[in-house]
Amino acid sequence: MEADVSAGRRSRLLLRLLPGGSVRRLAGLSLAWAGASWAQAQETGPRNCFWQAQGDPVLLNVAYPDFAASYWLSAYTLPAGAELELRGRYPHARYMSFNLYDAGLAPVDGLADLGIAADGGSVNPFLAGARRDLEQRDYTVRVVPAPAPALRAANTLYQTLDGTLTLAPVTGSETASPLGVMIYRIYLPDRGRSLTGDVPLPTVAVKLANGQRIEGPAACELLGTHLPDPVSPLLHALTPPASPTPGQNAADPVHWIKFTNLVRSAGVEPPAAAAPFFPPGSGGFFSNSDNAYVRAAWNTYFGENLLLFGRAPSFPDTRGGAAVMAASQVRYWSICQNDSTTTRTVSCLADDEVPLDAQGHYLVLIAGADARPANATTDCGVAYLPAGPNPRGFLLLRNMLPEAGFAQSVQAVPDADVETPEQAMGAYLPMGKHLSRAQFESLGCPVQAKAVLALLEASPVAVPPALVASVAGGSSGGAASLSALIVLAFAARARRAQSPQRLTSNSSREQ
């Protein structure tokens, strides 16, 4: 099967296709994880012999992590004909999952909490309407070395890697090793609970081809679980410019693009011969198969602050320890500010950290500490997202596990429309406008949608009054004005497509 034998070729093609720069270096360093040994212990969270590394903002802040999530990583060698068995307990949290990865940093299979049936006598607390506080919450997951069949077995992950990972960017040679790479995620533990949601990490057992079962440390020894030296310090040494120079394909208003895979995220279109190895939607940067992402670049060249306007999908508000898992449009959403040079995450806002108006609209203000407006506070109806020390950034908007009836999620954006996600998402894709501190402070407190709309109309993104009236329809009030603002801003950007105010890595501002 072509997908089963392409991982090594994907990694080699990846390094040929990506331009020299941070993404290429990230790819090389990330691929090196598969063959290196874990020589420096981490003291930042629970681990066991199988889950030897936990994502951490200092040591493992790479590949754009979400700060509301905890990540545990394992790299292992599965003996021929053997299967893995993971036994665990559902955490007291918003979400959990397992993902397997290939050499292109993309997920090849995954199991979310909803897809993991409970053991006999236990209950899956993630099912809509299920009680979340029950003590009986055990599950068992298998990992088998085979392609996923049309009819999947329950609670089963299918590991289909060919095991060839390219280490040439770091070691100057290639090493063949039948490694599996797995990440276990937990998002938003209930308040007062531990990072693991007050349950132990899943334990591992190996079932050999002859039927013998090996558990605990002996299983880890057999699997050869190993991880590399921390790579964050290496990536953190890639210091970005200290002034707002042109770069990152920033634009004003910001231009959102759906993330599809590692190559296309770097602005590279693979040649025809390589395209099958990097199909749209295949992912990368150790992405989560249950998430979909849109990205946008911003730059203080256009203004010292960036204001985001959007409408939030509904979500189950579990952090307070809700007794029942509520049905919602998405399981989780967030906005994160990132450093594209190092792939570090600088700051994040989880869904329950963003103030909403009565219709579910929000305002997010991104700025450095010295440029933060006085009214960029929750008391004024605004969520503040720290920009960090750099004059430019890379935003990621995540949507997780949308319900079937929610047609405006990131997941609903067709592959053909990755450059225009607003066509599918509408007001659920935030419009981003660069502003000065004085401009934002002129909006007062609380920040009203009508005032924001008036400010936008006075900017180069002005829109015809007739269109404002058309979008507002018969509605009135702040929420209607904010919806109009979002739609009209996208309409204005479409009209200006032939001459956008944009920065690219190869040119200054275009007229």
Has residue 12 been placed in a domain? yes
Q: What is the mean pLDDT of residues 225-232?
A: 52
Name which residue leads in pLDDT, 249 or 280.
249
Query: What type of residue sits at position 268?
Result: V
In this prediction, residue 83 has a pLDDT band, given cuts at 50, 70 and 90, of: very high
pLDDT value of residue 415: 81
| Pairwise CA distance, residues 132 & 442, whole Å | 45
Residues of the domain holding 355: 257-270+280-444
Candidate ranges 9-23, 138-152, 157-171, 225-239; pick with highest mean pLDDT: 138-152
Whether the per-residue pLDDT at 303 is higher than 70: the answer is: yes
Whether the per-residue pLDDT at 245 is higher than 60: the answer is: no
Residue 265 and residue 200 share a domain: no
Residue 308 and residue 350 share a domain: yes
Q: Tell me the three state secondary structure of residue 73.
A: strand
Whether the per-residue pLDDT at 248 is higher than 90: the answer is: no
In this prediction, residue 59 has a pLDDT band, given cuts at 50, 70 and 90, of: low
pLDDT value of residue 103: 66
Whether the per-residue pLDDT at 241 is higher than 70: the answer is: no
Q: How many domains does the chain have?
A: 2
Whether the per-residue pLDDT at 163 is higher than 50: the answer is: no
Has residue 314 been placed in a domain? yes
Has residue 469 been placed in a domain? no
Has residue 449 been placed in a domain? no
Query: What type of residue sits at position 105?
Result: L
Residue 47 and residue 105 share a domain: yes
Q: What is the mean pLDDT of residues 7-14?
A: 45
**378-428 per-position pLDDT tens digit:** 999 999 999 988 888 889 999 999 999 999 999 999 988 888 898 899 889
pLDDT value of residue 278: 56
Residue 375 and residue 416 share a domain: yes
Last residue of a domain, one of 410, 444, 478: 444
In this prediction, residue 52 has a pLDDT band, given cuts at 50, 70 and 90, of: confident
Which CATH number covers residue 294? Answer: 2.60.40
Name which residue leads in pLDDT, 150 or 20.
150
Has residue 78 been placed in a domain? yes
Residue 212 and residue 74 share a domain: yes
Residue 263 and residue 231 share a domain: no
**185-203 per-position pLDDT tens digit:** 999 999 999 999 999 999 9
Residue 115 and residue 192 share a domain: yes
In this prediction, residue 226 has a pLDDT band, given cuts at 50, 70 and 90, of: low
Backbone φ, ψ for residue 284 (5° rounding): 165, 180
Has residue 490 been placed in a domain? no
pLDDT value of residue 341: 74
pLDDT value of residue 128: 87
Has residue 487 been placed in a domain? no
pLDDT value of residue 45: 64
pLDDT value of residue 272: 60
Residue 146 and residue 27 share a domain: yes
Range of lowest pLDDT (6-10, 71-75, 365-369): 6-10
| Pairwise CA distance, residues 317 & 338, whole Å | 25
Q: What is the mean pLDDT of residues 283-299?
A: 85
Residue 109 and residue 181 share a domain: yes
Last residue of a domain, one of 419, 444, 469: 444
Would residue 87 be called left, alpha or beta, if left means φ above 0 and alpha means ψ between -120 and 50 degrees?
beta
Residue 293 and residue 207 share a domain: no
Has residue 386 been placed in a domain? yes
pLDDT value of residue 441: 96
Residue 373 buriedness (CB in 10 A; 0-12 / 13-18 / 19+): buried
Range of lowest pLDDT (241-250, 401-410, 488-497): 488-497
pLDDT value of residue 468: 38
Contact 248, 505 (CB under 8 A): yes
Inter-axis angle of helices 465-472 and 478-495, nearest 10: 130
Range of lowest pLDDT (39-43, 261-265, 496-500): 39-43
Residue 76 and residue 19 share a domain: yes
The number of beta carbons lying within 10 Å of the beta carbon of residue 220 is 22
**64-76 per-position pLDDT tens digit:** 889 999 999 888 8
**434-488 per-position pLDDT tens digit:** 999 999 999 999 998 778 877 877 776 643 242 233 235 333 333 334 444 444 4
- Please name which of 181, 6, 17 lies closest in space to residue 105, comparing C-alpha atoms: 181
**316-325 per-position pLDDT tens digit:** 999 998 999 9
Last residue of a domain, one of 444, 473, 505: 444
